[in-house]
Every structure is written in C-alpha cells, then in structure tokens.
Amino acid sequence: MATLRLTPGDLATTRFGLSPMAELAGALQVLGGRFQPPGMGAWVARARESYLALCREDPTLAALTELLCRTDWLPDFLSTPPPGMGTTFAGEVAAVRSTPRERARAELARSTGRRPLAAALDRPDIPAVLAATLQAAWQRLLAPDWPKLRAIAERDVVHRAGLLATYGWARALDSLAIDIRWQADGRIEIHNLSGPSHRIQGARLTLVPISFGGEWLALDPPRAYAFIYPAQGSAALWDTGPAGPDGLGDLIGRTRARLLRALHAPATTSQLSSQLALSLAGTSGHLAVLRQAGLVTRARAGRAVLYRRTALGDALADTPSGDCLLPSGP
C-alpha cells in the first residue's frame, strides 16, 4: 500500500490538473494489453493498426510499451506531475527530452526490476530517442482525439470540485478510485499501489484524471507529486450511439439522444461539444430544446453553466435501445 501524508496546508494547496503524457502512458498500457477499461474496445480496434505500424517502424515504442505493461513503477521522468489544467503535450515531451541521460537510464533500469533493460532502451541518447518516439505516438494515436479526452477530464474535475465544495476532501478523495481512502490524520491510502510512504511537506499535490484507466503516482520530490486516476465517464468516451434500433433517437432525434445519454454526469456546452464532435452552436440549440422539454436543467457553478438530466431525462436515457418508454398519462 502506498501512502501520502499531508498537513492541512498541503491539503489546502492540492489542485486538479491535466496531463496529455499520462493519457498517452495509459493508452499504451491499454494497447499493450495491461488492462482495458469498459467501453474502450472500439478505440482499441481503431487504434491497433496504427500502433502496430508504429512499433514496426520504431522498436523503441514496442520496448517502452512492454516495460509500461510489466512494471510496478513507471519511470518518473515519463510521468512528471503536471502544474495544472493548462498542461500541454509539447511542454511534457520537452521535459522528457531535457532529462539527464544518467537519470533516465537509472529510472528505466529500476522499472525493469530484475529483468535486463531492453536494447532499444539501453542507449546513451535515450531521452532524445524517447521524446521522438512519444511525439510520434501522440500524433498518430491521440492528438486527433485530444479534444474529447480533455472534455472527459474537465468534466471529471467539475464533478470532483462539486463533491469537494459540498462534502469536503474526504468525500472528494474517496470517490477518486475504489482503493483510495482518506484518513482523518491526514493520510491518503492507495491500497492497490505498492511503495513507501511519501510526505508532501509543502510540495504541490495534483490530482490528474485520465480516460484510459490505470492508477499510479507521479513523483518529482521535493517539488511535486501527482496521483493519476481513472476519469469518471470514460466508458462513454467513444460512444457514437446505438448501432441498432434506437427508440429514443427516433423520438427526439439521434443527436439529442446522444446529448441526453452523454449527460450521465453534469457538463458544460463546450465539454459536450468537444466530446461528441458537435458544433458549439448546434450543441447549445439542442440543449435548449431538451431543457424546454423538461429533460435537462442548467445551473451556474462558479464561472461555468452545467447541464444535468432531470428525473425524466434519466428515465429516458437509461431505457434500453428500441424500447423507449414514456410515463403513462392519466
């Protein structure tokens, strides 16, 4: 069990952040077969050909994926704690490229455990080589989907921030993952991760949702720590609607049905627009119709306006395809 020990001051400065590099690390673990979150099958089928082609072109990617799928400790220089919600892949890959080669070699060797380091990773210019490999993988596998990935992560942050404001840190942290627990003495216990206890001691702690599942700690002591966890709603990320008969789509239109189903958690217009690849104006118009029909409501949360389903919207969205049921009349 890994443990993070926080003072009240550490907790007060804990923030949420985004990490495109963590998304890529998660995606490579999915493609390498380490795990596959629910709803990810369609993406795996679509991305596998590009991934295998990249591995044939660049043995470093194949070796890196194998390491990520077998290790219990991801190299810290490949998963640096992000500073906040504005993190870019360009900035993260630049940090990989600038890693001292001795540090990179040592962390890769540590990640292999007792196994020898693969030849493709055991070279003096490995930081630059890995940066080029990760850049190519990002462009081919994830860059086109980054607006969707970002929207899912932002929605998760909005949801957690609501729990934090309403119930406090204990509820917000306990909901991050099945095996994480907040203790009253200031400990965050992560039961399914092995490793020593870490004292934050004035460093920055960032909570980072990703869409590809997986949980790990990103460490850069004494500057920063991060906990990467599965974003809520990832299972619906690649959902394009029912392939067969869709009674709800026939009733209210397929685009509005997709929007209603996507509102399993509150979201803003821009988040829904990015997730479903719809225009902002079109999304706004469809939400207005759903609101007029009593299927969604909206409320301001800070600077954002969040839409959420009503009880009627929940009943319709959760009805199996082809069996759209409406409440009985008098």
* 326 falls within a domain: no
Q: What is the reported pLDDT for 66? A: 96
Q: Are residues 6 and 110 in the same domain?
A: no
* 26 falls within a domain: yes
Q: Are residues 67 and 140 in the same domain?
A: yes
Last residue of a domain, one of 204, 234, 264: 234
Domain tally for the chain? 3
* 101 falls within a domain: yes
The CA distance from 53 to 218, in Å, is 29
Q: What is the reported pLDDT for 176? A: 77
Statement: residue 22 has pLDDT above 90: yes
| pLDDT per residue as tens digits for the range 73-120 | 899 999 899 989 999 999 999 999 999 999 999 999 999 988 999 999
What number is the average pLDDT over the span 302-321? 78
Q: What is the reported pLDDT for 41? A: 81
Q: Could you tell me which residue, 167 or 17, shows the higher pLDDT?
A: 17
Among candidate residues 134, 160, 149, the one with its CA nearest the CA of residue 14: 160
Structural domain range at position 84 = 20-146
Q: Are residues 136 and 205 in the same domain?
A: no
Q: Could you tell me which residue, 179 or 240, shows the higher pLDDT?
A: 179
CATH number at residue 249: 1.10.10.10
Least confident interval from 205-209, 238-242, 274-278, 322-326: 322-326
Q: Are residues 43 and 11 in the same domain?
A: no
Q: Are residues 32 and 91 in the same domain?
A: yes
What number is the average pLDDT over the span 137-149? 93
Last residue of a domain, one of 179, 204, 234: 234
Query: What pLDDT band is residue 314 in, cutting at 50, 70 and 90?
Result: confident
Q: What is the reported pLDDT for 317? A: 81
Supply φ then ψ for residue 286, to 5 degrees: -65, -40
Side-by-side strand order, sheet with 180-182: 180-182, 187-190, 2-5, 197-199
* 160 falls within a domain: no
Q: Is omega for the bond preceding 222 within 30 degrees of 0, making it cis? A: yes
| pLDDT per residue as tens digits for the range 33-56 | 998 887 788 888 889 999 999 999
Side-by-side strand order, sheet with 204-210: 15-16, 204-210, 224-230, 216-220
Query: What pLDDT band is residue 239 in, cutting at 50, 70 and 90?
Result: low
Query: What pLDDT band is residue 321 in, cutting at 50, 70 and 90?
Result: very low
Q: What is the pTM of this model?
A: 0.78
Q: Are residues 220 and 269 in the same domain?
A: no
Last residue of a domain, one of 212, 234, 256: 234
What number is the average pLDDT over the span 244-252? 76
Residues in the chain: 330
Q: Are residues 27 and 126 in the same domain?
A: yes
Q: Mean pLDDT for the chain?
A: 86
For residue 87, give every residue at least 6 positions away whose Cβ sits within 8 Å of its Cβ, in sequence order, or none. 17, 18, 19, 20
For residue 65, give every residue at least 6 positions away whose Cβ sits within 8 Å of its Cβ, in sequence order, or none. 28, 29, 31, 32, 55
Q: Are residues 24 and 88 in the same domain?
A: yes
* 151 falls within a domain: no
* 109 falls within a domain: yes
* 189 falls within a domain: yes
